[in-house]
Homo-oligomer: A and B are copies of this chain.
């Protein structure tokens, strides 16, 4: 017998038939003798409707009220899911964030989980009851509903898995696992049986949209074994586990990409101490997250070019913030370019292997793809290239690192 959390996203519970199918899947896990907690998102259409209404009524809405509105989506699904399970003979009850309680901080719309009391859920496991928990939502210190932000249901599921000390946390989604490259682009990508938390983190934050970064961080911190699998196909997915669980590490596990980047270049910035703080301080104040940063060595010791990336949606706002500080910063001009893509090679094995970066640069050069910005970490190398080369770059790198299936 194992204790398992199963999380189903919005497309997996998009309508009544799919909710019924999910219930059957949960029943199978229960019938196999496991203790099961189910975490569900809102039905995908419902979320869209709620968000649209909220935007319609007031573009500058109160985040606390927004949370009241959108959290209704998960509330609907847990009730329906509990009914669907009961209907096929599985004892089940729904749990809303405030009922558990799933305690968060008070950052409405992007709250962080502080505590999760699962004693009652565990107690009911012994009586054979399935817990159906609303993902995405919690309760703040002021007794108001909070939401965890985009993809928050994954994080909810991992937090629950940690709280009940689950043997596994299954994230069911519309893909059947983590691939060495985006299956929509790289035809010969392979599904990975296993991947480490660290690799998954890089993949997630770099735009492999399967798992939310926060959920992987949380799983890593609490050593929760994650499985990413298809909600439509009954087959093993990809396990996200501790590095120690993987004997033979691949040098490169996969090629990730993110189109949600825009490049900003400040031409001829005075090369003074503190200039970086003067530029990035106001951006941080405007809640704009800056990612890759490259500062060239100045030729004459007086002025340099500074390039960095921001989320595509924030480009106009970032340019405005910078223009507002032009007098103080004293640069010559600023250029914004939304037509870029960040492509990354990820793998824990590259720590101990030289030449991984070189192979990337060579493969791109062979195809005549110009690298605009480079940034690296222990287990990944990212480059910014022109968006038009996305597919070509991904396929070339996939082949160059020997990831193509035969």
Contact = CB atoms under 8 A, between A and B. Distances in A.
A66 B83 contact: yes
A94 interface: yes
* Copies of this chain in its oligomeric complex: 2
A86 B99 contact: no
Interface stretch (A52-60, A252-260, A308-316): A52-60
A251 interface: no
Given A57-B87, A58-B87, A87-B58, A69 B65 contact: no
Nearest to A42: B72
Nearest to A143: B99
Interface string A59-72: 01110111111011
Nearest to A145: B96
A83 B57 contact: yes
Contacts of A69: 75-76, 79-80, 83
A133 to B, nearest CB: 12
A65 B23 CA distance: 15
Interface in A64-113: 64-69, 71-73, 75-76, 78-80, 82-84, 86-87, 93-94, 96, 98-99
A83 B62 contact: yes
A50 interface: yes
Nearest to A134: B68
Contacts of A96: 68, 145
A54 B19 CA distance: 12
A16 interface: yes
Nearest to A78: B68
Most buried by B among A62, A83, A84, A86: A83
Most buried by B among A19, A68, A84, A94: A68
A124 interface: no
A222 to B, nearest CB: 27
Contacts of A3: none
